[in-house]
């Protein structure tokens, strides 16, 4: 069992280690990233087994979502880190003459806290750790108690390659997270629900600790299907995504708005896509994941029971294995409760709308909390691009799902109730560093125009000239 004093000691030991300056060396950081990559590769089978035990993930899905994605993240960071960390040189401008040079140093924050969720436990712990290490920080990872097998293997891996004074992984429940939040960290990165995100910010504010939040869409991540969309293609991609991790993905589609002119055809295609990918009995498919806990299963079932008369596909469940089939609920009104909040399960409510009234749909969505993602299916790419630049959300796709978060060089982030801050690649490095500007002064040719006395006409003329 963890205690307040133990957590405090871990944080203070990391602060002492950081103060030694070892993490400032970029070569040191690259060596640690290589050690992490090597350890993840060596323990790959154990990681995949833990993902199966916690979430029922097929090994291939576990590799695709967690292990493989993590290795790609490490590779990108190792390749780019020297360039990202290089101090920038700026001309100070004529106002600062003769001090013409200013440097911007990318400084680490110090001791960081990473609070990770259960749904993608390896990637959303170690993936954030990559950014923290790249920035030159130390890290305490508070991993989820719900995915306990993954927490165990992460603790094993980190203990093998890093001293506790540099990186450590803590298990336990919310009480341990609160022990961590009561400490003075230099940066906090939290992934989870908006409700807990508020609590994290409240605790961080006590020490004015900067926070990055990656949250789920509080009122859901919408997918919009216009009447001109390729319905078979859309259905295939949506079925894959909704089945992935049994819907327990922060950027997953929460609800679909489909033009009623093609709603019936789309539902037929979506049903066929689920059957093709998971068979006629997804609950008993060894490839189909489970819900994380009995509580999550019961919550999903209770929601489905409310709309049992509108279930047009799915609804089957097995409480013993915590598996709930992908379930299509149709028709649902845009103001129904089920589409006003994040579901985080395999239920998929379908909202029909008249295609000519798409602007009303977008207006309704925009009036709710900002989602973490938005997906649009249409042949009118110009319209889709316009919408993507008008709506506010974390990130999204046109005629695709989820792949935006796998693109090198672009940020993964939320906005408003779906989060703040960004990471992946250089964006993660930026999130875990502070840009520190330093002007290099000169002791020669200094002008006295900024100094008293000010009752000199030439000073006023020069200042006005320089500052236009």
Selecting among 214, 218, 269, 431, the annotated active-site residue is 214
Average pLDDT per block of 10 residues along the chain, 468 residues long = 95 98 98 98 98 97 94 98 97 86 98 97 97 98 97 98 98 97 98 96 98 92 98 98 97 97 98 97 96 98 97 98 98 97 97 98 97 98 98 97 93 95 97 97 82 81 78
CB 240 within 8 A of CB 276: no
Q: For 389-436, where are the alpha helices, taking DSSP H only?
A: 426-431
- Among the listed residues 150, 250, 300, 402, the single catalytic one is 250
Q: Beta partners for 313?
A: 328
Contact (Cβ atoms closer than 8 angstroms) between residue 374 and residue 221:
yes
Is the N-terminal amide bond of 453 cis, ω within 30° of 0? Answer: yes
65 tagged catalytic: no
Cβ neighbours of 92 (radius 10 Å): 16
Nearest to 138 by CA among 202, 177, 187, 180: 187
The Cα–Cα gap between 160 and 158 comes to 5
Identify the residue whose tokens are 């008008």: 390
The whole-number pLDDT of residue 451 equals 81
Q: What is the pLDDT of residue 446?
A: 81
Cα 268 to Cα 59, 272, 274, 376: the distances in Å are 30, 6, 10, 19
Which pLDDT belongs to residue 386? 98
User: What's residue 147's pLDDT?
Assistant: 97
pLDDT at 465: 80
What per-residue confidence (pLDDT) applies to 449? Answer: 73
Ordered structural domains, the chain, with CATH: 4-215 (3.40.605.10), 222-410 (3.40.309.10)
For strand 311-313 and strand 327-329, is the pairing parallel, antiparallel, or unpaired?
antiparallel
Which residues are CB-neighbours of 218 under 8 A, at least 6 positions away?
A: 194, 341, 342, 369, 417, 418
pTM of the model: 0.95
Closest CA to 350 of 418, 264, 231, 240: 264
Strand (E) positions, 280-370?
Answer: 311-313, 317-318, 323-324, 327-329, 347-353
Which pair of tokens denotes residue 194? 């908006």
To the query of whether residue 96 is one of the catalytic residues in this protein, the response is: no
Note the pLDDT of residue 281.
97
* Distance separating alpha carbons of residues 11 and 180, to the nearest angstrom: 9
User: Is residue 189 within 8 Å of residue 168, measured between CB atoms?
Assistant: no
Q: Which two structure tokens, joined as six digits, stand for 463?
A: 């200042």
Interatomic CA distance for residues 302 and 298, integer angstroms? 6
């Amino acid at each position: 069992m963890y205690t307040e004093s133990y957590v405090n000691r871990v944080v203070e030991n990391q602060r002492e280690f950081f103060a030694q300056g070892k993490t400032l060396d970029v070569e040191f950081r690259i060596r640690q990233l290589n050690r992490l990559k090597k350890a993840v590769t060596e323990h790959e089978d154990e990681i995949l087994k833990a993902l199966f035990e916690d979430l029922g993930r097929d090994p291939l899905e576990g590799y695709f979502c967690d292990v493989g994605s993590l290795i790609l993240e490490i590779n990108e960071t190792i390749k780019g880190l020297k360039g990202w960390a290089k101090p920038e040189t700026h001309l100070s401008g004529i106002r600062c003459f003769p001090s013409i040079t200013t440097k911007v140093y990318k400084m680490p924050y110090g001791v960081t806290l990473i609070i990770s969720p259960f749904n993608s436990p390896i990637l959303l712990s170690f993936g954030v750790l990559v950014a923290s290490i790249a920035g030159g920080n130390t890290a305490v990872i508070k991993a989820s108690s719900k995915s306990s097998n993954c927490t165990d293997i992460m603790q094993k891996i980190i203990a093998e390659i890093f001293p506790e004074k540099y990186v450590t992984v803590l298990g336990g429940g919310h009480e341990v997270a609160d022990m961590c939040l009561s400490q003075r960290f230099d940066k906090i990165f939290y992934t989870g629900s908006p409700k807990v995100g508020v609590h994290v910010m409240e605790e961080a504010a006590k020490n004015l600790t900067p926070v990055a939040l990656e949250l789920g869409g509080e009122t859901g991540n919408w997918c919009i299907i216009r009447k001109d969309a390729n319905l078979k293609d859309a259905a295939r991609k949506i079925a894959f995504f909704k089945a992935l991790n049994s819907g327990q993905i922060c950027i997953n589609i929460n609800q679909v708005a489909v033009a009623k002119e093609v709603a019936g055809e789309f539902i037929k295609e979506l049903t066929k896509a689920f059957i093709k990918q998971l068979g006629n009995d997804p609950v008993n498919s060894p490839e189909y994941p489970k819900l994380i806990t009995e509580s999550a299963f019961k919550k999903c079932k209770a929601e489905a029971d409310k709309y049992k008369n509108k279930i047009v596909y799915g609804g089957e469940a097995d409480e013993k294995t915590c598996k709930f089939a992908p379930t299509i609920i149709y028709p649902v009104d845009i103001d129904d409760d089920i589409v006003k909040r994040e579901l985080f399960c395999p239920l998929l409510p379908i909202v029909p709308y008249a295609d000519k009234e798409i602007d009303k749909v977008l207006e309704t969505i925009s009036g709710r909390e900002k989602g973490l993602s938005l997906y649009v299916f249409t042949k009118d790419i110009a319209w889709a691009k316009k919408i993507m630049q008008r709506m506010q959300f974390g990130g999204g796709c046109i005629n695709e799902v989820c792949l935006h978060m796998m693109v090198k060089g672009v940020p993964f982030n939320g906005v408003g109730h779906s989060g703040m801050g960004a990471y992946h690649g250089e964006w993660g490095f930026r999130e875990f560093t502070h840009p520190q500007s330093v002007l290099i002064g000169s002791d020669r040719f200094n002008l006295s125009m900024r100094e008293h006395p000010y009752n000199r006409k030439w000073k006023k003329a020069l200042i006005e000239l320089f500052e236009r």
